[in-house]
């Protein structure tokens, strides 16, 4: 079943809400990994960031069902 969220008369698919809510967590994790020097061991930083973001979105979807 498709779950839409109504915000001030605009209907959003729930994945959009999850993606927006994941951005602050992603920024915090990214900065923490950068300061720890983790990115020295990453072959392709941009690809790693996309994969990290998608993993965080999946965690949000599983932990906080709408």
- What is the SS3 string spanning the chain? CCCEEEECCEEEEHHHHHHHHHHHHHHHHHHHHHHHCHHHHCCCHHHHHHHHHHHHHHHHHHHCCC
pLDDT the model gives residue 2 = 63
Tell me which residue range forms the domain holding 48. Answer: 4-63
pTM for this prediction: 0.85
**Quick one: pLDDT at residue 65?**
83
Please list the residues that pair with 12 across neighbouring strands.
Answer: 5
Give me the number of domains the chain comprises: 1
User: Which positions of the chain have pLDDT values less than 70?
Assistant: 1-2
Question: What mean pLDDT value characterizes the chain?
Answer: 91
């Amino acid at each position: 079943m498709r779950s839409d969220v109504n915000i001030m008369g605009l209907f959003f698919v729930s994945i959009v809400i999850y993606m927006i809510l994941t951005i602050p967590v992603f920024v915090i994790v990214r900065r923490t990994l950068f300061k720890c020097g983790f990115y020295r061991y990453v072959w392709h930083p941009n690809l790693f960031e996309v994969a990290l973001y998608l993993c965080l979105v999946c965690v949000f979807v599983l932990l906080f069902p709408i």
